[in-house]
Structure 1
Amino acid sequence: MNSKRLFIALNLPTEAKAELVRLIDDLRTGRTGVKWCQEENLHLTLHFLGYMGDDQADQVKLLAQSLSGKFGQIQFNFGYLGGFPNLARPRVIFVEFEQIGSKSIYKLQQLLGQGLAKLNLAVDQRPWQSHITLGRVKDYSRAPVKIAKKNLNISQKHFVISTFDLMESQLKPTGAEYFKVASYNL
């Protein structure tokens, strides 16, 4: 049985990723203790599934297919800069994914979670926060991570996403590499 590390995500359009790379470049200055995300890895995770075999992955594909086409395109921009557990001393630095108009992204995330639970798959019980990880703090001694929000220029451009994806994450010594397994219309 092949076991794959899977998650369900919204992959960002190229122009949105370019804006985030610009923001990461602004944040990177003087912060060597942070592992910044590569452009190709920028996404919004809806659900992390973990390692699963082909049979479970097939069940997830059927669930995703059952929700395909029920939401329509999502228009979004970037909200505030944040950190987990907080921005004063973050382990994760992120930017908020802010949907414009209806909040269908929350409904999709909720319905996926309910479906995963019915399949007896583990679902994160913490409240979901729509965010895009920009970097992970690895070494506080080398990372002056207190970030001055006033010096940042977070783009307010609007972007559109029309699909959600089942993704595979392959862990490598150089970092995770992500591959699209299947794509579904919103």
Structure 2
Amino acid sequence: MPNHRLFVALEPPDGVRRRMATLAADLRRAAGRAADDVRWVPAENVHLTLQFLGAVPEERVADVVSAVTAAAAAARPLSLEVKGAGGFPNARRPRVLWLGLHGDVEPARAFVADLGRRLAPLGFPPEARAWSAHLTVGRARDPRGAPGLAGALASQAEGDGVPWRVADVVLFESHLSPKGPRYEALARAALGGG
């Protein structure tokens, strides 16, 4: 039986995705020539990862769906705001460029912890590092990071935020190809069970 490369995430609705794409485009413009040092994430692939599961055998997918659905039912809808930008490990030479999230970040963190507790007995322990609420919009082409982006990231610190009402969680399958990943929603579960 085949394995499925799975992760659990929050998916922005189309209106939020369009406004996030504008923020990312503003970041690219502000970066100037340094923007060429980054592989930008297509707008349709931007999501908030809650937990990456990796290779999941076909016969375990139903159990994963049940755990995700139970965690979602125990949570409540979230009010987030996409605002600001930054880089990991730092803005001077980031390897990952991100848009920030504000609002119900602590309830989201509690949801991630509960999700991890429910998935761990199935063989999918949560990541060792603390979960960070961010939306990845680009990755440096050089593994040492992309210099010259600090000013562009700082330029995104001020400005209007994008409100995002989160009502459900999605179990995605990642299909890898030379053209880049394609994400397929396998299951959706309403936050609060609604």
TM-score by length of 2: 0.87
Whether 1:156 aligns to 2:161 is yes
Counterpart residue number, 1:167: 172
Counterpart residue number, 1:182: 187
Whether 1:83 aligns to 2:83 is no
Q: Which runs of 4+ in 1 moved over 4 A?
A: 140-143
In structure 1, C-alpha distance between the alignment counterparts of 2:43 and 2:161, rounded to whole Å:
19
Once the two structures are overlaid, the 10-residue window that deviates more, 20-29 or 108-117, is 20-29
Counterpart residue number, 2:117: 114
Q: Residue 107 and residue 141 in structure 1: after superposition, are their counterparts in 2 closer, same or farther (change >3 A)?
A: closer
Counterpart residue number, 1:19: 19
Equivalent of residue 73 in structure 1, options 62, 73, 77: 77
Q: Secondary structure at the match of 2:127?
A: coil
Q: Secondary structure at the match of 2:65?
A: helix
Q: Secondary structure at the match of 1:103?
A: helix
Q: Secondary structure at the match of 1:32?
A: helix
Q: Contact (CA 8 Å) 2:86, 2:99: kept in 1 or not?
A: yes
Q: Contact (CA 8 Å) 1:76, 1:159: kept in 2 or not?
A: yes
Q: Structure 2: which amino acid aligns with 1:99?
A: G
Tell me how many residue pairs correspond in the alignment.
185
Q: Residue 142 and residue 50 in structure 1: after superposition, are their counterparts in 2 closer, same or farther (change >3 A)?
A: closer
Q: Contact (CA 8 Å) 2:93, 2:147: kept in 1 or not?
A: no
Q: Which structure shows the bigger proportion of residues in helix conformation? A: 2
In structure 1, C-alpha distance between the alignment counterparts of 2:146 and 2:52, rounded to whole Å:
30
Q: Contact (CA 8 Å) 1:7, 1:49: kept in 2 or not?
A: yes
Q: Contact (CA 8 Å) 1:7, 1:168: kept in 2 or not?
A: yes
Equivalent of residue 151 in structure 2, options 147, 155, 158: 147
Q: Could you list the per-position Cα deviations for residues 46-77 of structure 1 after superposition, in whole angstroms to 9, with x for gaps in the alignment? A: 00011111122222111112223332321110
Unaligned runs of 5+ in 2: none
Q: Contact (CA 8 Å) 2:8, 2:50: kept in 1 or not?
A: yes
TM-score by length of 1: 0.90
Once the two structures are overlaid, the 10-residue window that deviates more, 135-144 or 102-111, is 135-144
The share of aligned pairs that are identical, in percent, is: 29
In structure 2, C-alpha distance between the alignment counterparts of 1:130 and 1:14, rounded to whole Å:
20
In structure 2, C-alpha distance between the alignment counterparts of 1:177 and 1:155, rounded to whole Å:
30
Q: Residue 143 and residue 170 in structure 1: after superposition, are their counterparts in 2 closer, same or farther (change >3 A)?
A: farther
In structure 2, C-alpha distance between the alignment counterparts of 1:24 and 1:136, rounded to whole Å:
12
Considering only aligned residues, what root-mean-square deviation do their CA atoms show, in Å? 2.0
Q: Secondary structure at the match of 1:118?
A: helix
Q: Contact (CA 8 Å) 1:4, 1:51: kept in 2 or not?
A: yes
